Amino acid sequence: MAEKRIVWHENAIVDLKSICDYFNKRNGSRKYSTKLVSEIKEILILVSENIELGIKTTTFNYIRAIIKDNYKIFYQIKTTEIEILSIWDCRQNPEKNKFL
């Protein structure tokens, strides 16, 4: 199967930016955020090569999630691409997550 292109939904971009901003302020450095973004990109490369790597979500059969530390990365498999929908911090109240 051919590798699919990764595209980011605006919500996922906002999620990742919010996570990075939090750690930048908390740590007084961008070092952790830079590492986290790099690791997420590496995981998404694996997903683009193995689209069913993530687990199916309980609410939507067409949306999958892959776990990175305390985060679930929700994605949707489309014909030619994989759309990153959201990055969820699993330490939050799960009732706030629309993909669970």
Per-residue three-class SS string for 34-56: HHHHHHHHHHHHHHHHCCCCCEE
Mean pLDDT of the chain: 89
pLDDT digits (tens, 9 = 90+) for 60-80: 778 999 999 889 999 999 989
Q: Which domain holds residue 63?
A: 5-92
Q: Are 85 and 100 in contact (CB under 8 A)?
A: no
Amino acid identity of residue 19, one-letter, is I
Whole-structure pTM value: 0.86
Domains: count for the chain = 1
pLDDT of 19 over the 80 cut: yes
Whether 98 is in a domain gets the answer no
Whether 46 is in a domain gets the answer yes
Whether 51 is in a domain gets the answer yes
Whether 84 is in a domain gets the answer yes
pLDDT of 58 over the 80 cut: no
Q: What is the CATH number of the domain that holds 38?
A: 3.30.2310.20
Whether 62 is in a domain gets the answer yes
Whether 54 is in a domain gets the answer yes
pLDDT digits (tens, 9 = 90+) for 39-56: 999 999 999 999 889 998
Whether 87 is in a domain gets the answer yes
